[in-house]
Homo-oligomer: A and B are copies of this chain.
Amino acid sequence: MSTFQRTTSSYRAGARTLPREYYTSPAILADERERIVATGWNCAGRASAVAQPGEFLVREIAGESILIVRDSAGTLHAFFNVCRHRGTRICREAAGRFGETIQCSYHAWTYGTDGRLIGAPHMQDVPGFDKAEYPLHQAALAEWEGFLFVSGANDLTEGPVLGGYMEIKPPNQSATMSGRACGHLVSDQLPGEDRTRAFYYTILPNLLLSMHPDYVNYYLVTPVDVDRTRVESEWLFHPGTLADPANNIRDAVDFWDLTNRQDWDIVEQSQLGIGSRRYQPGPYSARESMPAAWDREYLRRMGRS
């Protein structure tokens, strides 16, 4: 791929890749999950997916099934998908729309879309039982530029955002297979110099933003095991791009499908090689200032810097 010309970015001389155990140790993976994923602000997708009252989506975050639902009054909530009676997982679907209530199928405990317990058959006979004490457990929820973020923490921290841009090399107009733009500019307010730039940001712990003059795509990244990561991608376009059949959004999607598969292939080989007893942290070049910066932030969050 020769669509881009790199811009200079800050580089700390002597930066090296991480020691082997950061790639292979189940204990460090568990530590990561607790220190970075469970307490961070995890992107859970787009708010537009739960635009109507009762609409919900379910996301797995740090091993938890989280139910995101818009209640009857229009407020968004994030709940742990766990019934307060026997602990049963309540909602089995990945997305959908509730009526007025959410009901567990085991013993029919029933909750409002705002999480309050409103029905609990036979529990009226239990001395001292009070429905008000058994709402669905809440997770913290925040919205930013149409993205939903979920966390066990209480405040939306201003964590570092890692990233930068690359100049799109003429005569290319965008990162597409043909090099041509695949549709409208994403915004008419886009400053002139940004119309030939591609911006890439990591918003820790799980969102990668890839923004181009004519499209945005993003990735949700979930650690699965020491040697396995789930990556989900979605695409955003200007409404005018989608309305006009003369535009060819596959031109952009195919470009990244090819690029990503090449990248995933080589990082799989890295994972295999780093497992060797003889692997030693290697030197980063100045072109690798971004992974080096990512390593520093990662170690800081892990309490090991």
Partner-B contacts on A (CB < 8 A): 13-14, 17, 20, 23, 38, 63-65, 80-90, 92, 105-107, 121-123, 125-129, 134, 137, 152, 266, 269-270, 272-280, 282-287
Residues of chain B contacted by A285 (CB below 8 angstroms): 107, 121-123, 125-126
Closest Cβ–Cβ distance, residue A36 to chain B (whole Å): 15
Contacts A/B (CB < 8 Å), 14 sampled: A14-B126, A14-B127, A17-B86, A38-B277, A80-B276, A83-B273, A84-B280, A87-B270, A87-B280, A88-B266, A90-B273, A122-B285, A122-B286, A123-B285
B86 touches A278 (CB 8 A): no
Q: Are B123 and A283 in contact (CB under 8 A)?
A: yes
**A64 CB contact (under 8 Å) in B86, B134, B266, B278:** B278
The winner among A86, A89, A276 for most chain B CB atoms within 10 A is A86
Most buried by B among A105, A270, A280: A270
Task: Check A87–B137 contact: CB distance below 8 A.
Answer: no
A283:B126 contact, CB within 8 angstroms: yes
> Given known contacts A64-B277, A87-B282, what 12 new A-B pairs fall within 8 Å (CB)?
A13-B127, A64-B278, A80-B278, A82-B273, A82-B276, A87-B276, A88-B270, A88-B273, A105-B266, A122-B286, A125-B285, A129-B283
Chain B residue numbers with a CB within 8 Å of A126 are: 13-14, 283-286
Could you tell me if A86 and B270 are in contact, using CB atoms closer than 8 angstroms? Answer: yes
Contacts of A38 in B (CB 8 A): 277
Which residues of chain B have C-beta atoms less than 8 A from A82's C-beta? 273-274, 276, 278-279
Q: A126-B285, A283-B129 are known contacts. Are A269 and B105 too (CB-CB below 8 A)?
A: yes
Q: Are A278 and B88 in contact (CB under 8 A)?
A: no
Which residues does chain B contribute within 8 Å of A266, judged by CB atoms? 88, 105-106
- Residues on B with C-beta less than 8 A from A125 are 285-286
CB distance from A186 to the nearest CB of B (A): 32
Determine the distance from Cα of A118 to Cα of B221 in the docked complex, in whole angstroms: 36
> Which 8 pairs of residues, A with B, have the shortest CB-CB distance?
A89-B273, A87-B274, A122-B285, A89-B272, A80-B278, A88-B270, A137-B278, A82-B273
Bound-complex Cα distance A1 to B23 (A): 51
The residue of chain B having its C-beta at the shortest distance from the C-beta of A64 within the complex is B276
Q: Which of B83, B122, B283 contacts A85 (CB 8 A)?
A: B283
> How far, in Å, is A122 (CB) from chain B's closest CB?
4
Of all chain B residues, the one with the shortest Cβ separation from A80 is: B278
In the bound complex, how far is the Cα of B280 from the Cα of A87, in angstroms?
7
Shortest C-beta distance, A33 to chain B (Å), equals: 11
Residue of B nearest to A122 (CB): B285
B137 touches A106 (CB 8 A): no
Other-chain contact of A92, B86, B106, B269, B275 (Cβ < 8 Å):
B269
* A272/B65 in contact, CB under 8 A: yes
Question: For A80, A87, A277, which residue has the most chain B Cβ atoms within 10 angstroms?
Answer: A87
